């Protein structure tokens, strides 16, 4: 069970029931639980969509697409059943927020799925939880069973004459499955290979039916929007970036943890005030603002509001809310190598630019970090990365290329410091004595 933290600047919306025992359905009911879905049952589907559109809620999984807009793409009538799919395959390095939602407030996700279903005319929803989160799938299965027992899901929900079913589904270890089309493949019992789009999931999704896919945090926000109103939610954040965000502070920071802060909260303040700064008298070197696929910002670039548009303007992405803080004792070449090792491991191999690109970049970075780098490698890594951009079916290729380009461009000197067989300047004494971990 993960520890909770708090800070006075927090504005608690999705985290407001954390630590309050809301996994127990009766306790959830005391805390305004299942009120939003009853309100939504009395609303026209278009009114629900418009409320969510007005709220400025944008996808918390990383892409930041307008949730209301996404819902509006689902056709009103369709020959096949429609579905809602909750993406709880949280696996972007630096991100550990959906875990807390499932652990502390699973019913809010169930309610969010139901409201999404009412908005688009779906009769069933699936909550996909990554395989490593076994204890959370147990919590979720109990929450679903309890909601069925109360008659909140199943036949004739809340005596409305409408039916809605919710099922849990588990993964078995694959980052790529967090991508929406690969997620559907995985749920259908296949390898998580992305699908070619168009058609988009809103038109042809799970088992060929129109499907709305939203991140767990996105869906957990929905009941609060229905109860509090879109305008209230929009005002919590910045223009076009409604609400709050669960920011996962990790890395070289004094008080790591998951903090719920308003959209647009200043990154510098987040690191130094909320996170308590860099421990041990060291200095900030870089910040990865939204999970490992987001280009790093240097210490000079952190005076930025943490909303989708401001971070994009600063040349990076708000991503999935994973803020990884890196101090001046860390080697950026090594950091870039570890990032690439991850993407190489997770590339599904379907698209050649991603499969070959991540492999060659990992090989080059490994050689580079071991002192075998050549000057021309530096430009080559950038060139190779730039040629991966936009040339794959899913964004995994981009996710590997974008941070690499930023590391090479912004920290070129550190790459140069590794040239001519010099040992890594950051490697601690005695590191060579470590026993080697066998190759895989």
Partner 1 sequence: MKFSDEFEARFAEMVPHYPTVRSALVPTLLYAQDEVGFLSDAVIAEIAGRLDLTELEVRNVISYYSMLTTKPRGKFHVQVCTNISCMVRGGEEILHHCAKKLGVGHKQTTPDGMFTLEEVECIGACSWAPAAQVNYDFHENLTAEKMDAVLEGYRTKTAR
Chain contacts with partner 1 (rule: CB under 8 A): 1-3, 81, 90-96, 98-99, 130-135, 167, 169-175, 186-192, 207, 248-252, 256-258, 288, 292, 322, 324, 326-327, 330, 334-335, 338-339, 342, 345-346, 348, 434-440
Q: Which of 75, 67, 91, 171 is nearest to 126 (CA)?
A: 171
Q: How far is the CB of 324 from partner 1 (least distance, A)?
A: 5
Q: Closer CB to partner 1, residue 63 or residue 254? A: 254
Q: How far is the CB of 235 from partner 1 (least distance, A)?
A: 28
| Rounded Cα distance, 230 and 284, in Å | 38
Q: Which of 165, 186, 157, 164 is nearest to 174 (CA)?
A: 186
N residues, the chain: 440
Query: And the tokens for 235?
Result: 């005002």
Q: Closer CB to partner 1, residue 187 or residue 317? A: 187
Q: How far is the CB of 25 from partner 1 (least distance, A)?
A: 20
| Rounded Cα distance, 193 and 186, in Å | 8
| Rounded Cα distance, 174 and 223, in Å | 29
Query: And the tokens for 242?
Result: 């409604």
Q: Closer CB to partner 1, residue 233 or residue 393? A: 393
Q: How far is the CB of 55 from partner 1 (least distance, A)?
A: 27
Q: Closer CB to partner 1, residue 3 or residue 300? A: 3
Q: Closer CB to partner 1, residue 117 or residue 192? A: 192
Q: Closer CB to partner 1, residue 169 or residue 391? A: 169
- H helix intervals, 347-395: 352-367, 375-388
b/e map 353-366, b = 16+ CB within 10 Å:
bbbebbeebbebbe
| Rounded Cα distance, 419 and 423, in Å | 9
Q: How far is the CB of 333 from partner 1 (least distance, A)?
A: 13
Q: Closer CB to partner 1, residue 32 or residue 163? A: 163
Q: How far is the CB of 108 from partner 1 (least distance, A)?
A: 19
The angle formed by the CA atoms of residues 147, 171 and 126, to the nearest 5 degrees, is 35
Q: How far is the CB of 102 from partner 1 (least distance, A)?
A: 10
| Rounded Cα distance, 369 and 426, in Å | 10
């Amino acid at each position: 069970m993960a520890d909770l933290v708090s800070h006075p600047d927090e504005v608690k919306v999705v985290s407001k029931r954390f630590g309050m025992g809301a996994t127990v359905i009766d306790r959830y009911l005391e805390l305004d639980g299942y009120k939003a879905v009853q309100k939504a049952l009395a609303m026209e589907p278009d009114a629900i969509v418009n409320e969510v559109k007005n709220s400025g809620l944008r996808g918390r999984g990383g892409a930041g697409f307008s949730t209301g807009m996404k819902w509006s793409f689902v056709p009103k009538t369709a020959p096949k059943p429609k579905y809602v799919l909750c993406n709880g395959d949280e696996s972007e390095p630096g991100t550990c927020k959906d875990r807390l939602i499932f652990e502390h407030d699973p019913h809010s996700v169930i309610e969010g799925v139901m409201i999404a279903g009412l908005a688009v005319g779906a009769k069933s929803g699936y909550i996909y939880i990554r395989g490593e989160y076994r204890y959370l799938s147990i919590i979720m299965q109990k929450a679903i069973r309890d909601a069925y027992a109360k008659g909140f899901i199943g036949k004739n929900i809340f005596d409305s004459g409408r039916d809605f079913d919710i099922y849990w589904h588990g993964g078995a270890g694959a980052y790529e499955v967090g991508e929406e089309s690969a997620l559907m493949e995985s749920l259908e019992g296949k390898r998580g290979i992305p699908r070619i789009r168009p058609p988009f999931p809103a038109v042809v999704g799970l088992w060929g039916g129109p499907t709305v896919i939203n991140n767990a945090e996105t869906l957990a926000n929905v009941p609060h929007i229905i109860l509090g109103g879109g305008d209230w939610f929009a005002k919590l954040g910045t223009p076009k970036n409604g609400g709050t965000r669960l920011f996962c502070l990790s890395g070289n920071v004094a008080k790591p943890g998951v903090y719920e802060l308003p959209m647009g909260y200043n990154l510098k303040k987040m690191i130094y005030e909320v996170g308590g700064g860099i421990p041990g008298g060291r200095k900030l070197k870089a910040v990865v603002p939204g999970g490992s696929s987001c280009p790093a910002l240097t210490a000079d670039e952190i005076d930025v509001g943490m909303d989708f548009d401001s971070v994009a303007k600063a040349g990076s992405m708000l991503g999935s809310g994973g803020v990884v803080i890196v101090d001046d004792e860390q080697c950026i070449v090594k950091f870039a190598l570890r990032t690439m090792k991850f993407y190489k491991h997770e590339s599904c191999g379907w698209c050649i630019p991603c499969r070959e690109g991540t492999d060659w970049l990992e090989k080059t970075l490994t050689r580079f970090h071991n002192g075998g780098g050549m000057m021309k490698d530096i430009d080559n890594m950038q060139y190779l990365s730039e040629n991966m951009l936009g040339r794959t079916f899913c964004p995994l290729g981009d996710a590997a290329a974008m941070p690499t380009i930023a590391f090479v461009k912004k920290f070129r000197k550190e790459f140069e410091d590794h040239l001519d067989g010099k040992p890594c300047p950051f490697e601690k004494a005695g590191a060579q004595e470590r026993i080697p971990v066998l190759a895989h």
